[in-house]
Structure 1
Amino acid sequence: MQQPFDITIGEIDYAIFPEGNDTYVVFKDGKEYRHILKDTESQWLTLDPETALPLFGEDEEVNAIGREILAYVPEEEDEGEEQEDEEL
């Protein structure tokens, strides 16, 4: 599974934690902000915090976060770093 990563939109930093099945937990300002789900390539949905059901409706911030998630390319680790991680 993909490792957590950070994205920046404008001056706002987000921490993204992939959960699988195109679902992500988004942290903003160090606090859990939203759970989002990929609907289509350009449409993303917020999940209701109580029921985990998708909330339908246009949300440009969520769509912008989704575009950055799709555009994110993980940095490749050096083999030395990878071996150190395995030893821990």
Structure 2
Amino acid sequence: MQEPFDIHIGETHYAVFPEGNDTYTIFKEGKEYTQIQKDTDMQWLKLDPESALPLFEADEEINAIGKEIMDYVPEPEEDEEGGFEDEEED
């Protein structure tokens, strides 16, 4: 599973915690904010906090967060020897 990561939209900081099945828990400025789910690459849905069912209403902030999630590229992790895990050894 993908590790949590941070994104920024303007001056706002979000922490993104992948939950699987294209669902993410979002923290905004250090506080739990919402859960979102990918509908399409351009459309994301906010989940109802009580039922966890998708809310089918347009939300520009949720779509902006989703776009940043899609654009996110994780940094390669260093292994114990100081190299990167993706490097092949000769």
Shared fold per TM-score greater than 0.5:
yes
CA distance in 2, matches of 1:64, 1:4: 18
Percent pairwise identity: 68
Q: Which residues of structure 2 form unaligned runs of 5+? A: 83-90
4+ residue runs of structure 1 moved beyond 4 angstroms?
Answer: none
Q: 1:81 to 1:63 in 2, by over 3 A?
A: farther
The structure that is helix-richer by fraction is 1
Aligned alpha-carbon RMSD (Å): 1.3
Give the secondary-structure state (helix, strand or coil) at the position aligned to 2:3.
coil
**Cα distance, 1:29 vs structure 2:** 1.3
CA distance in 1, matches of 2:44, 2:34: 12
1:29 maps to amino acid: E
Matching residue of 2:58: 58
Please tell me whether Structure 1 or Structure 2 has the larger radius of gyration of its CA atoms.
2
Matching residue of 1:73: 73
Q: Normalising by the residue count of structure 1, what TM-score does the alignment of the two structures yield?
A: 0.90
Q: Structure 1, residues 43-86: CA drift from partner, whole Å, max 9, x if none? A: 0000000000000011000000000000000000112278xxxx
2:30 maps to amino acid: G
Q: Normalising by the residue count of structure 2, what TM-score does the alignment of the two structures yield?
A: 0.88
Aligned residues: 82
